[in-house]
């Protein structure tokens, strides 16, 4: 679910500049522009103030994906491949193409239709608000006490349970030779 939320957010963020990016992409492709220069130029066409290029050269958007429900899995993969290299790397880390195949095999790609109706535009939901639902799974794991090998929630820093050296002796004095990491 998380990759689809991220994909929808990017779709909303890039919606305003989509036509300009597609026109620039066609012009650069016709001029046989090298790929590394194309990346920078397409990034500027999408948003000249953004430091890292973020664009999509695919003709698809979430709404256009719904126009061809028989080929939604293939079109969704093509849409992801149209993103700038940095954004595409995020989806590769999610293993999203494998997830698309699994969702397609189990006939559950209807989530794309549901997400297309969700408004995640920047003027409606801030970046901070976007981060809150993305943080919820991690917080739930922490509340359950399953911290993947890290110190338990109840053990303060310097406690024997956290695997770090004790800074204070039982009598309250600081042990010689140990300095707190946070100084």
* pLDDT tens-place string over residues 98-126: 888 888 888 888 778 888 888 888 888 88
> Is residue 172 a part of any domain in this protein?
yes
C-alpha 86/C-alpha 76 separation (Å) is 18
| pLDDT tier at 48, thresholds 50, 70, 90 | confident
DSSP 7: H
In percent, the amount of the chain with pLDDT more than 90 equals 23
* Number of separate domains in the chain: 2
Torsion angle, alpha carbons of 87, 2, 96, 12, to 10 = -40
In percent, the amount of the chain with pLDDT more than 70 equals 72
Q: Identify whether residues 36 and 107 lie together within a single domain.
A: yes
Mean pLDDT score of the chain: 78
| pLDDT tier at 135, thresholds 50, 70, 90 | low
Q: Identify whether residues 126 and 37 lie together within a single domain.
A: yes
- Tell me the residue range of the domain where 171 lies: 156-183
């Amino acid at each position: 679910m998380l990759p689809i939320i991220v994909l929808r957010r990017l779709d909303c963020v890039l919606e305003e500049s989509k036509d300009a990016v597609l026109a620039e992409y066609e012009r650069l492709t016709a001029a046989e522009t090298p790929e590394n220069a194309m990346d920078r130029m397409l990034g500027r066409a999408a948003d000249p103030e953004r430091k890292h290029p973020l664009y999509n050269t695919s003709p698809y958007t979430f709404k256009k994906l719904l126009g061809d429900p028989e080929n939604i899995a293939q079109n969704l993969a093509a849409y992801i491949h149209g993103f700038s290299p940095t954004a595409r790397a995020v989806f590769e880390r999610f293993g999203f193409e494998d997830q698309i195949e699994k969702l397609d095999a189990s006939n559950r790609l209807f989530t794309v239709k549901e997400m297309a109706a969700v408004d995640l535009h920047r003027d409606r939901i801030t970046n901070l608000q976007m981060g809150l639902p993305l943080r919820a799974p991690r917080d739930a794991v922490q509340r359950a006490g399953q911290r993947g090998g890290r110190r338990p929630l109840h053990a303060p820093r310097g406690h024997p349970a956290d695997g770090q050296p004790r800074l204070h002796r039982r009598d309250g004095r600081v042990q010689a030779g140990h300095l707190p990491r946070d100084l």
